[in-house]
Chain A
Amino acid sequence: MVGGGVIQQILRRKLHSPSLATPVRSWFSSKTAHVDTGSSGVRAFALLGAGVTGLLSFSTVASADEAEHGLACPDYPWPHDGILSSYDHASIRRGHQVYQQVCASCHSMSLISYRDLVGVAYTEEEAKAMAAEIEVVDGPNDEGEMFTRPGKLSDRLPQPYANESAARFANGGAYPPDLSLITKARHNGQNYVFALLTGYRDPPAGISIREGLHYNPYFPGGAIAMPKMLNDEAVEYEDGVPATEAQMGKDVVSFLSWAAEPEMEERKLMGFKWIFLLSLALLQAAYYRRLKWSVLKSRKLVLDVVN
């Protein structure tokens, strides 16, 4: 659409204006810059050049859009994808370990409490021990002072920064988003986060990223403030699973999916149960309706025709 309108405007300008160089350069930055005389003999060639330029510019516009939206992420076959599939809880446990050791230094998860992990990834004792490792500000006490105490199950996961401004200041102006709902907060969240974390690559030819940013094709615009965090064996898993980049990515996304949708398993069970029961109810209702209407549907009307 845009390309077509652009081509029309360029053709109009080419026909009317004697100087051809400036409109060309002001609209596109491409090759046909050798057209700069107004003689009619060259005009046909100029029009052809404009058409070609229009087409080329259209492709430039299209690829600018491509980088803007980011590379589309593929669909991965997550183990919890099926209609009756639960989370891989071992994966959630490993994912939490990855979060704690790799991500928690910058990303908060302020909606998750330690007690949410009990029965999902850790036993109660393990979760209590993990909570006790952190210091929490509590109070005021009887003397009116705030004090610090070791964490309890009811405490939220610790925040790396006091507030958004501190987070931005420590990260070159970029705010590392809270990850509690990230897989729901991004389109195709699970696949997107996995693709993003494992998708750090060298930029394409002609693209340069400024100092302080990194190239990631999946990130809208291509320039992300977060460096590549998942590297082989960055974490040593408790259960001995080899911690490759892809493995850590899968586990951390399983953890983030659980964090965003902890009710998923119950929801699927409820959904399956109620859809089944309501289908039976539908069949029953259909039968009952047809039973009641059968009286009217099977009546005979006799037309007495008067000649």
Chain B
Amino acid sequence: MRFGEIELQHLGFIHHLAISQRRLRSFLSNFTMADVEVVDPKKCLEESCKPKCVKPLLEYQACVKRVQGDESGHKHCTGQYFDYWQCVDKCVGPKLFAELK
């Protein structure tokens, strides 16, 4: 909470806002560790690895379009799906454990 006060002193523009110190402190206390929503690092990394694996992703999406019209029920996109996720996994694998305890 001392951090909040230092911030207050350095941000000159806050003086122009009519926020009292006490109200600022209670505002900041809403963001203690207990209230921060945990974000799964694996999902996060998979999102960030998407741009690296655009080619297999586009292949998969093309396959989805082809399969959408299928009535026989035998067509599926497992191959392209696997290619995409293999690419993402290769990208995420070495980095994931650095984000975990």
Contact = CB atoms under 8 A, between A and B. Distances in A.
Contacts of B99: 246
Interface string A59-76: 110111011000111111
A20 B59 CA distance: 32
A88 to B, nearest CB: 9
Nearest to B89: A74
A230 B70 CA distance: 35
> Size class of A's contact patch?
35 or more
Interface SS of chain B: helix, strand, loop or mixed? Answer: helix
Contact of A244 (B40, B85, B90): B40
Given A71-B86, A217-B81, A63 B100 contact: no
A74 B92 contact: yes
A74 B97 CA distance: 13
Nearest to A70: B82
A247 B101 contact: yes
Given A73-B89, A74-B92, A204 B100 contact: no
B79 interface: yes
B64 interface: yes
A279 to B, nearest CB: 32
A243 interface: yes
Contacts, number: 93
B25 interface: no
A78 to B, nearest CB: 8
B23 to A, nearest CB: 29
> Size class of B's contact patch?
35 or more
Contacts of A64: 78
A154 interface: no
B93 to A, nearest CB: 4
B100 A233 contact: no
Given A71-B85, A74-B89, A74-B92, A244 B76 contact: no
Contact of B93 (A30, A67, A74, A243): A74
Interface of A: 29-30, 59-60, 62-64, 66-67, 71-79, 90-91, 195, 198, 201, 204-207, 217, 222, 232-233, 241-247, 250
